[in-house]
Amino acid sequence: MESEPEAPAAVPIPTQRPDTAAPEGKPPAVAPTPPEKPAELEPEPPAAAPLPPEKPAEEKIPADPRSAEVPAEKMPESETACRERLKALGVEFEEHKAEHDAKIGCSIPYPIILKTLGKSISIGSGTELNCRMAEAAARFAADVVRPAVKAEFGADLKVINQASAYVCRPRHGGGKLSEHAFGNALDIASFTLSDGRTIGIGPAPPEKDGKFLNTVRKAACGPFKTVLGPGSDPDHALHFHFDLEPRRNGGTFCQ
């Protein structure tokens, strides 16, 4: 006798999830709003940099009264007397027409061109100076340079080789006129002796030459109001500069 088949096992009914829907009559829960970020403060503008102090107005260099000098109808007695003294010193020279540049301010009312600085002492060509400066140069050559040459080298002075005399220009690096603009300055590049030797002016001369040049340079301070040379500045590395610039209380400037 066949047995009756077993009834299939009952399938378990899954447990019902709790209803997440909002109960009737109640709104759904609202997610909390995140707190607002505090408003960012705008950065303050940087403080304005202080303005630099105003530069004082550049002091205008007063015009040199010599710039207005022009020749008179008749040469002044001071000029004729100066020329007589030059002749007595054995200086050879010739007259030159007046120099005057109203735009720049250069002026020599009564210039001369030197041929020699005394007996047997020549000077480079084109040496145009005012008479007072020419006389100072001639006396210095006779009283200082010639004796120093004899003492140091046992020779005589034959030529003073000039590098510059009258030149219509301002000073290097400044608005003030150079003393060259008034024929009141002489630049010397070298000295030639009777034995043919030349003593050049430079920053490192031979010992014997250097001793002679130092003697001349030191003695120039007094007869001339300005004395410059090697070591003073780059512009005077290869020559001596002598001039008669008018200075307060007759002072000198020697470097």
The rounded distance, in Å, linking the Cα atoms of 100 and 69 is 8
Backbone angles phi, psi at 205, to 5 degrees: -75, 165
**100-134 residue pLDDT tens:** 999 999 999 999 999 999 989 999 889 999 999 99
The rounded distance, in Å, linking the Cα atoms of 209 and 198 is 9
**135-144 residue pLDDT tens:** 999 999 999 9
Give me the mean pLDDT over the 89-98 stretch: 97
- How much of the chain exceeds pLDDT 90, in percent? 69
Taking 70 as the threshold, does the pLDDT of residue 37 lie above it? no
The stretches of the chain forming alpha helices (DSSP H) are 77-88, 131-140, 146-153, 207-220
Taking 70 as the threshold, does the pLDDT of residue 52 lie above it? no
Residue keyed to tokens 């040496």 = 127
pLDDT, the chain, mean: 86
- pLDDT score recorded for residue 5: 47
The pTM assigned to this predicted structure is 0.75
Lowest mean pLDDT among 13-27, 96-110, 181-195, 220-234: 13-27
Give me the mean pLDDT over the 81-105 stretch: 96
Band the pLDDT of 4: cuts 50, 70, 90.
very low
- pLDDT score recorded for residue 255: 92
Residue keyed to tokens 């480079």 = 124
Q: Which residues pair with 221 in a beta bridge?
A: 224
* Cα dihedral 121, 110, 164, 148 sign: positive
Q: What is the radius of gyration, based on Cα positions, of the chain?
A: 48
CB atoms within 10 A of CB 42: 6
Domains annotated on the chain, with CATH: 76-254 (3.30.1380)
Of 45-49, 94-98, 116-120, highest mean pLDDT: 94-98
Helix (H, G, I), strand (E, B) or coil at 79: helix
Specify whether the CB–CB gap between 223 and 244 falls below 8 A: no
Q: Which residues pair with 107 in a beta bridge?
A: 100
Q: Is 56 exposed, middle or buried (0-12, 13-18, 19+ CB in 10 A)?
A: exposed
Task: Dump strand ranges (E) for 82-139.
Answer: 93-95, 99-101, 106-108, 111-116, 122-130
Specify whether the CB–CB gap between 79 and 131 falls below 8 A: yes
Q: What is the DSSP letter of 167?
A: -
